[in-house]
Structure 1
Amino acid sequence: MNTSRRQSKGTKALAVGSAVAVIMAVLPYAFYYYEALPDWLWDTSLFNSLSKSFDDNRLMASWILFQKIVPLLLLIIWFLTCKHWWYHVIIIPISLYAFQLYNLFDFSSTYIDSGELYFIVPVVIISLSLTYLARIKVFDRIHGIDISEIEDEIKKPSDRWFK
């Protein structure tokens, strides 16, 4: 019973891993998906309003849209499959690409890819905090340091303050 459960778990992990590998291998070809799509698709009102600063809708779709979506999807896959302690840092470029993609569909904005670094500062702070917390836990586990002892020493009053 236990070995069959382990085999089915291993088979499922192999299938999921294979699917992720195939998606990651094929996804860079999405940079060229715009060439396979028909011309009439690029002449819709959505792409006309998106390409106000470009001469050609196809250029906007290839250069801007697919240059944001493909790296965003690859980063999300990396974030979801990463098993390292520092994986929270991947949230920073994910938020950058997501904000740039959002900015692309914000029709009131006249500039593309400008000012997003200021808006992702909270994401950077939270991500670095989570990463540092994970680093501390890994460091403590490797070196066998008990944080509660250090916290107790910090909490109790020191003699030097009362002299």
Structure 2
Amino acid sequence: MAENLKNSNKTRHRFLIESLGLILIVLAPFIFKIHEYLPRDPNQTIDIFGATFDRNGFEDLSTYAWFLLNKLIPLYLLIIWFFTCKHWWYHIILIPLCMYAFQIFEVIYSEDRFVDTENVLWLLPVCMVVIPFVYFVRIKLYDKYVHGIDLEAMEAELQSFRKETKKILMHQ
């Protein structure tokens, strides 16, 4: 009985999370169009939940929102993809995800007149970790399922060989 209730709660929780993800995916084109309803007056600001937004160096608030939404929509879609992907290579999604995150950070916090300029340099550390990791996983899978090489079995065999060698050396 308790196991059934636990499974029911787990199923309900998963259903709610998947529904939220589905709603966010469906709403993506509509969220993107929000910029069309924002003011085009260069001096106008907007207050949302106590936060004041201005043009942040762009021509007007609408242009700023358009530029920001061009980064936010792919970012949250990539986040959904990253957390729902069941393929072995899903870590590689971190690279474009980080790229959009850095671009959003640059748009919001940059005092510079130019955006999307040097964010590739911020991706190098991420790439240096993610790419070798994904390639290593790919090699292990390729060896195991294509070539039939089971690295764990080979490692176990090497361990037993080392133990036997130690025993022989100790008895001499």
Normalising by structure 1, what TM-score? 0.74
Distance 1:144 1:7 in 2: 41
CA-CA distance at 1:82 after TM superposition? 1.5
Contact residue 49 and residue 107 of structure 1 kept, 8 A: no
Corresponding residue of 1:59: 63
Higher relative contact order (CA 8 A, sep 6+): 1
Mapping of residues 123-138 of structure 1, within 5 Å: 123-138=126-141
Worse overlay, 136-145 or 70-79: 136-145
* Contact 1:85-1:134 at 8 Å conserved across structures: yes
2:43 aligned with 1:20: no
Superposition map of 1:24-103 within 5 A: 24-37=25-38, 43-44=44-45, 47-51=54-58, 55-62=59-66, 64-103=67-106
CA separation in 2, counterparts of 1:49 and 1:4?
Answer: 51
Flag the 1:56–1:41 CA change in 2: closer, same or farther, 3 A: closer
Q: CA separation in 1, counterparts of 2:61 and 2:19?
A: 35
Cα distance in 2, alignment partners of residues 43 and 134 from structure 1 = 52
Local SS of the residue matching 2:109: coil
Aligned match of 1:160: none
* Residue of structure 2 equivalent to 1:145: 150
Question: Aligned-pair distance for 1:74?
Answer: 0.9
Distance 1:110 1:39, change over 3 A: closer
The alpha-carbon deviation at position 137 of structure 1 amounts to 4.4
| Structure 2 CA distance for partners of 1:26 and 1:43, relative to 1, 3 Å | same
Q: Which amino acid aligns with 2:90?
A: Y
Shifted more, 93-102 versus 124-133: the winner is 124-133
Distance (whole Å) between structure 1 residues aligned to residue 55 and residue 10 of structure 2: 49
* Partner amino acid, structure 2, of 1:32: K
Q: How high is the sequence identity, in percent, across the aligned residues?
A: 29
Amino acid at match of 1:29: F
Note closer, same or farther for the CA distance 1:3–1:100 as it changes in structure 2 (3 Å cut): same
Q: 1:60 to 1:49 in 2, by over 3 A?
A: closer
In structure 2, give the amino acid aligned to 1:23.
Answer: L
Q: Distance in 2 between matches of 1:67 and 1:106?
A: 16
Please, which runs of 5 or more residues in structure 1 have no aligned partner?
157-163
| 2:124 match | 121
- Please report the TM-score for the alignment, with normalisation by the length of structure 2: 0.71
2:32–2:73 Cα contact (<8 Å) kept: yes
SS in 1 for 2:63: helix
Alignment length (residue pairs): 150
